[in-house]
Structure 1
């Protein structure tokens, strides 16, 4: 919020300066017309009126100067960095925080006496690219990147701190661009601590949950029939918690230092889709659902096969849960150049990517939920909350899919897709009306 306050103050100061200059030009034009008039007594009278209004103009000028000085003091003491470049990317102003964040190591704070290219004093090509993007689009732009410091002395290199930065760039007049810089190191540390805590808790819970399940399954055939339903509920809930722990562990393995990378190899996607459906067919048969596949019989993609199999399982399981009885789950695979259906902004049939759609015919996503459905533990549909009715007893030894509704399935999908340098988006299908999840996957590199 503070960033937008600074932006508002900066825009107000610029508008006041433009207004003052326009008023000055108007006065000059009036004065020239008066001096060119033939009636000198009348002209002198008008000049006298202009002189009388001069003190008021002087007061306005002093007020504008005070506002400008106040704005500079605010930017100079702001807890975030700010710098400004001209149309040639020469640095014309920066505050102390920007000087420290970019390690300029020069007395450049405030107005710069001798303009120099920004890349000369701050070796950050991502910042330069952000400025160029803002100047081309003439709109606010944002970017995050890691700042890697380069030692100025190659013969005696020294370790420089590395930290994430976030830049907010705004277009100004005459091709100038202003950039607010924020150090994201603290936020990154908080995320790492959260992920480490989640992983540690999941590891600690895994062993006792396995023990509880083994004890409950051992007791199932040894108790009376009237009491067995309580053990059935215990087994179901233990399986649900175990699967939740496994999901948390999978998320932690895909993030941070624990991520060992992908084992990429050419994978034929259509057979992988069929294998995922066969794994979920018992759940689909309960609701009388069928798979409707549309796409080529063979299509190679560079994937980590076990991880992407998990992606397909989660997407199809999500579609099965939200499909009505005796319906179809639609899966469509498209190569570059195929005609794309409407519904996703920015679709380009010529992109160098494979496109995988998974659609159901349920009630679809609520508009307010769409920005958050890939967040962990977010459950868009309130009906997915578990109730006592969900705890129906099952036959001993029956494995049920009780982990559904934890809010981690789509978070895992998003993490795996991002690891493959792909993207995933969500919408409601304009014809089917149900949920529509679209994956974009890069094509395998060819020599």
Structure 2
């Protein structure tokens, strides 16, 4: 009987040992598969396969460590700044270039601090939060003003224009690439200064040419007077272009000019601007389709906003086909941002060909024209044709005389220079009023759709 109990216990022990061996074998296979799945197909014992898997894992780890060190050296030697923050906005590390741009020392892993404690830049902190909220890469441009605890070093801390690109990493971390825009800003300033100087130099001789042309205009008889008329029109066009360059340079040099604010009725201002270009509109049989309040008072610089509306209407009239309507929509809207402020939205819609999709981000840049073939006026083309025809023969033919006589019977209308400065001036003036402007193609007319947004506050209706 004792021997039977011994055999029964031995069987239980062997069963438990077999189960334990099977359990260990399964765990060993899972471990081998996690380290090196291909090792399971080798005709070797589990121990040998485990050793080979560990060796392959060590080799792979060494290769990854080498690659990581290589990328770390590349990041430290990169000409752009690179930094990384964790989910609590603590600075994990940054390269030397980022330290120079932000005037900080690269942190040690054991001494993590909040980025805002090291870099007093609200724009950078906002960019990181925006990346987390939107769950996508973001970009921001701003001027960074370093803060120094030593008062004697304040004069040496120069402001730096920066551009930052953010990317979302794992576990709530965010990576930021920083680049200095100092050279770009300097080049833009030199370009603006050069354009302003050239415009100033051109203003005086153009004025002299205009005075001479106006003096000869009344002393010549047709058809010679028609040549002077065309010369005078082109001189006026060039003078307007020079004045646009001077105005734009002044607005860019002083983005927040001293606006002469007063209470203005936006509805009357729109009607006044359209009336100024009525001859252009009448030539193409265009009508103004206005939808909005009969009276809307707000604080504006009347002369500058009149210039904005002139440029917008000029753009709409230029590209609208004949016998169409230029739509103007004025309404009060609410800003979708956290401020929830009231905005005056002015929409100008034409029925023209619209903007090319790839041109929409650049329509407010100076000298940008989406369609160069439409930038020159018909008068300029006519002058070129007449000049080339008359270059070989100074005598005026009867055909030319008939053409010029027909042209003289047509009422003179102002023509657009097509210089690509009108919408650039619009953006500068609107931004000076703390507003913004955007361009799109209208879904109904497929034409240009220019929207102006201006902050609005209630104004006493009895104010003049």
- Partners of 2:435 and 2:345 lie apart in 1 by 10
Deviations 1:415-437 (A, max 9, x none): 11122221211122222232111
Deviations 1:295-354 (A, max 9, x none): 00111223211111100011111111122222221111011269xxxxxxx999x76311
Q: CA deviation at 1:229?
A: 2.5
Aligned to 2:370: 380
Describe the shift of the 1:33–1:119 C-alpha distance in structure 2 as closer, same or farther (beyond 3 A): closer
- Partners of 1:217 and 1:258 lie apart in 2 by 37
- Partners of 1:302 and 1:199 lie apart in 2 by 30
Which among 407, 415, 429 is matched to residue 416 of structure 1?
429
Q: What number of residue pairs does the alignment pair up?
A: 402
Q: CA deviation at 1:94?
A: 0.6
Q: Tell whether 2:289 aligns with 1:299.
A: no
Describe the shift of the 1:119–1:364 C-alpha distance in structure 2 as closer, same or farther (beyond 3 A): closer
Check the 8 A contact 1:84/1:179 in 2, yes or no.
yes
For residues 176-215 of structure 1, the aligned pairs below 5 Å read: 176-215=173-212
Which among 435, 440, 446 is matched to residue 427 of structure 1?
440
Q: Which runs of 5+ in 2 are unaligned?
A: 1-25, 35-43, 384-402
- Partners of 1:266 and 1:168 lie apart in 2 by 42
- Partners of 2:32 and 2:195 lie apart in 1 by 76
Which among 281, 284, 300 is matched to residue 284 of structure 1?
281
Q: CA deviation at 1:70?
A: 0.5
For residues 236-385 of structure 1, the aligned pairs below 5 Å read: 236-257=233-254, 260-336=257-333, 352-385=342-375
For residues 77-116 of structure 1, the aligned pairs below 5 Å read: 77-104=77-104, 106=105, 108=106, 112-116=109-113
CA RMSD of aligned residues (A): 3.0
Describe the shift of the 1:223–1:64 C-alpha distance in structure 2 as closer, same or farther (beyond 3 A): same
Aligned to 1:5: none
Normalising by structure 1, we get a TM-score of 0.82
Normalising by structure 2, we get a TM-score of 0.80
Deviations 1:183-217 (A, max 9, x none): 11111111111111111111111111011011112
Q: CA deviation at 1:403?
A: 3.7
Check the 8 A contact 1:291/1:328 in 2, yes or no.
yes
Which among 409, 412, 415 is matched to residue 402 of structure 1?
415
Describe the shift of the 1:376–1:84 C-alpha distance in structure 2 as closer, same or farther (beyond 3 A): same
- Partners of 1:68 and 1:149 lie apart in 2 by 32
Deviations 1:162-181 (A, max 9, x none): 11111111111111111111
Describe the shift of the 1:33–1:78 C-alpha distance in structure 2 as closer, same or farther (beyond 3 A): closer
Q: Tell whether 2:164 aligns with 1:151.
A: no
SS at match of 1:291: strand
Q: CA deviation at 1:112?
A: 2.9
Describe the shift of the 1:59–1:358 C-alpha distance in structure 2 as closer, same or farther (beyond 3 A): same
Describe the shift of the 1:172–1:333 C-alpha distance in structure 2 as closer, same or farther (beyond 3 A): same
SS at match of 1:143: strand
For residues 7-22 of structure 1, the aligned pairs below 5 Å read: none
Describe the shift of the 1:157–1:45 C-alpha distance in structure 2 as closer, same or farther (beyond 3 A): closer
| Bigger radius of gyration | 2
Q: Tell whether 2:36 aligns with 1:46.
A: no
Check the 8 A contact 1:237/1:402 in 2, yes or no.
no
Deviations 1:45-92 (A, max 9, x none): 212212123322222111101100000000001111111111111111
